[in-house]
């Protein structure tokens, strides 16, 4: 068979599945694949179909968040559980530059391809690994399910396609306790998971049914990264600033830093 006809076959299969999925979907949700097809380029669409074929994603619904670099979608797994599907869009120049700062120097990602597409794949893979390490260290984070190309699949924190609120919009009932929990999470991330979040603030902590969840681990770095101490100090400073504003008597930066990093 010539290459051309293999390509044609693939396209036909894709088209078939697309129509098929659409039919299945349209019965349940009008807006489903229209949204997806509008927003995504061909290779993202292929990657999504791959995840549907593998049985990771069963149904996909609208976006719960549309940032500059990524979008997060609510989806369902075959067993009916809720998923969050974070899709990284093609990288802008600024994003590529900032990404490299967090990848370079991380011993887990020594040899990577630097073209735009592969940089984004590495970024999704990196967020997945960080989530795995955090999850294994018993830090409350979305449960990582898989990373494929520019797509990260994890458990959904929230309900019926509505994400749990950020602590900035829905502050914890007991701020002192919440502050201690976050410091404990930072410590577990450092000592057990051996990573630093590097973008920790009230914008990346969800408050769900009285429990706090840390999200958004793309930029998290290994503690071996040359900038990890700087990032850790920044994280603690952000957390201190936010909890101070809630009236918590926070641990001074230096002391908190020592406590987090103490052997």
Ligand X SMILES: Nc1ncnc2c1ncn2[C@@H]1O[C@H](COP(=O)(O)OP(=O)(O)OP(=O)(O)O)[C@@H](O)[C@H]1O
| Contact (Cβ atoms closer than 8 angstroms) between residue 204 and residue 131 | no
- The catalytically annotated residue of 9, 20, 106, 216 is 216
Minimum Å gap between C-beta 22 and Mg ion is 31
**Strands, DSSP E only, in 115-261?**
144-148, 151-155, 158-159, 162-163, 195-196, 205-208, 211-214, 221-222
For 173, half-sphere exposure in the C-beta direction (CA atoms, 13 angstrom radius) is 4
Closest CB 67 distance from Mg ion, rounded Å = 7
210 or 252: CB nearest ligand X:
210
**Rounded to an integer, what distance in angstroms lies between the CA atom of residue 163 and that of residue 150?**
21
Smallest gap, in angstroms, from Cβ of residue 9 to ligand X?
36
Residue 156 interacting entry, from ligand X, Mg ion, none, C-beta within 5 to 8 Å by type: ligand X
Q: How far apart are CA 172 and CA 137, in angstroms?
A: 23
Question: Considering the complex, what minimum distance in angstroms separates the CB of residue 249 from Mg ion?
Answer: 27
Catalytic residue status for 216: yes
Q: Pick what 142 binds: ligand X, Mg ion, none; C-beta below 5 to 8 Å, kind-dependent.
A: ligand X
E strands, 123-222, where? 144-148, 151-155, 158-159, 162-163, 195-196, 205-208, 211-214, 221-222
Toward Mg ion, which CB reaches closer, 65 or 230? Answer: 65
Nearer to ligand X, 204 or 228 (CB): 204
Q: What is the DSSP letter of 196?
A: E
The reply to whether 106 belongs to the active site is no
Decide whether 21 or 142 has the Cβ nearer to Mg ion.
142
Binding to Mg ion in span 213-232, by CB under 5 A: 216
Q: Which residues bind ligand X (CB under 6 A)?
A: 64-65, 67-70, 72, 84, 86, 142, 154, 156-158, 163, 166, 204, 215-216
What angle, rounded to 10 degrees, do the helices at 228-245 and 253-261 form? Answer: 130
How far apart CA 179 and CA 186 sit, in angstroms, is 11
Residues designated as active site = 199, 216
Tell me which residues touch Mg ion (CB under 5 A). Answer: 204, 216
């Amino acid at each position: 068979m010539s290459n051309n006809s293999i390509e044609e076959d693939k396209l036909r299969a894709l088209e078939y599945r697309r129509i098929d999925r659409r039919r299945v979907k349209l019965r349940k949700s009008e807006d489903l694949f229209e949204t997806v097809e509008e927003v995504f380029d061909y290779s993202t669409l292929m990657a999504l179909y791959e995840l549907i074929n593998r049985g990771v994603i069963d149904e996909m619904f609208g976006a719960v968040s549309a940032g500059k670099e990524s979008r997060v979608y609510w989806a369902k797994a075959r067993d009916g559980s809720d998923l969050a599907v974070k899709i990284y869009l093609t990288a802008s120049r600024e994003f590529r530059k900032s990404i490299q700062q967090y990848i370079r120097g991380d011993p887990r990602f020594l040899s990577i391809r630097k073209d735009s597409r592969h940089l984004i794949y590495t970024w999704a893979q990196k967020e997945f690994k960080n989530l795995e390490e955090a999850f294994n260290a018993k830090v409350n984070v979305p449960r990582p399910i898989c990373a494929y190309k520019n797509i990260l699949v994890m458990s959904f924190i929230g309900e019926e396609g509505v994400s749990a609120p950020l602590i900035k919009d829905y502050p914890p009932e007991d701020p002192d306790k919440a502050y201690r929990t976050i410091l404990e999470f930072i410590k577990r991330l450092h000592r057990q998971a051996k990573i630093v979040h590097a973008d920790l603030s009230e914008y990346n902590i969800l408050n769900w049914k009285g429990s706090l969840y840390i999200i958004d681990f793309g930029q998290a770095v290994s503690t071996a990264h040359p900038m990890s101490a700087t990032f850790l100090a920044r994280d603690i400073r952000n957390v201190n600033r936010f909890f101070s504003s809630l009236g918590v008597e926070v641990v001074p930066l230096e002391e908190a830093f020592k406590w987090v990093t103490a052997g």
